[in-house]
């Protein structure tokens, strides 16, 4: 199968990690969605990465759907629990982590605009989304809904979101007063799948 993506996208990283953790071989097709000559739209009309093309020629997007597709292959280890409500909880945490990535991405795009066109109010709004969502992640850890050594879709997505904040230096104080989240990130960053998908140094 082919994963269409860019090395800096946290959504793509999440999918690469799921595939690596399950030992699924894939070809990485490097596409830059923000460049004019990008070929991404031939895989996803929304022009976003990731997209996954299977050996049967089916194309799947966006990243939560790709994650579900990968899980349907039934290859161990399972990244989503079998029990439906527990599975829904894991997917909700994935949505939370994806939302942190979205807010991080909006912040980066906003800061890339000429200074006079940047909106401080918009940057604050995005920072608040990130901060509230990170607080919820810390609370989920405190409540034992996930643990710092859980490796599943929820924790992988959270660690990818944190990796993106670190990479783009968005909300650099994210680790203050969130000790469990720090431990979770440290634990997952040590895994080979995370080491192999680190975004390139700027």
Ligand X SMILES: N[C@@H](CCC(=O)N[C@@H](CS)C(=O)NCC(=O)O)C(=O)O
**Closest separation in Å from C-beta 105 to ligand X:** 5
Q: Which lies closer to ligand X via its Cβ, residue 64 or residue 81?
A: 64
**Closest separation in Å from C-beta 177 to ligand X:** 28
Distances (CA, A) of 76 to 39, 52, 85, 155: 32, 19, 20, 17
**Closest separation in Å from C-beta 91 to ligand X:** 12
Please give the Cα distance from 21 to 4 (Å, whole number): 18
**Closest separation in Å from C-beta 16 to ligand X:** 13
Both tokens of 132, joined, read 């509230």
**Closest separation in Å from C-beta 144 to ligand X:** 27
CA 199 to centroid of chain Cα atoms: 12
Q: Which lies closer to ligand X via its Cβ, residue 109 or residue 139?
A: 109
Q: Which lies closer to ligand X via its Cβ, residue 169 or residue 177?
A: 169
Q: Which lies closer to ligand X via its Cβ, residue 11 or residue 178?
A: 11
Q: Which lies closer to ligand X via its Cβ, residue 9 or residue 155?
A: 9
Both tokens of 57, joined, read 């020629």
Residues interacting with ligand X, by CB under 6 A? 9, 11, 33-34, 47-50, 62-64, 98, 105
The sign one gets for the Cα dihedral 66, 71, 75, 79 is: positive
**Closest separation in Å from C-beta 157 to ligand X:** 10
Q: Which lies closer to ligand X via its Cβ, residue 9 or residue 107?
A: 9
């Amino acid at each position: 199968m082919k994963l269409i993506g860019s090395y800096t996208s946290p959504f793509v990283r999440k999918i690469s990690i799921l595939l690596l953790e399950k030992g699924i071989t894939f070809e990485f097709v490097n596409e830059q969605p923000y460049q004019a000559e990008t070929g991404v739209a031939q895989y996803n009309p929304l022009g976003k990465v990731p997209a996954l093309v299977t050996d049967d020629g089916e194309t799947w997007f966006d990243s939560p759907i790709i994650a579900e597709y990968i899980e349907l292959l039934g290859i161990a280890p399972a990244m989503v629990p079998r029990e439906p409500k527990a599975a829904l909880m894991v997917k909700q945490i994935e949505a939370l982590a994806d939302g942190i990535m979205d807010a991080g991405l909006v912040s980066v795009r906003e800061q890339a605009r000429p200074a006079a066109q940047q909106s401080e109010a918009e940057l604050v709004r995005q920072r608040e989304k990130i901060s509230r969502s990170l607080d919820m992640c810390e609370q989920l850890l405190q409540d034992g809904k996930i643990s710092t050594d859980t490796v599943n879709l929820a924790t992988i997505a959270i660690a990818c979101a944190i990796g993106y904040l670190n990479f783009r230096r968005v909300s650099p104080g994210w680790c203050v007063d969130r000790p469990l989240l720090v431990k979770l990130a440290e634990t997952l960053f040590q895994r080979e799948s995370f080491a192999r998908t680190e975004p390139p140094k700027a």
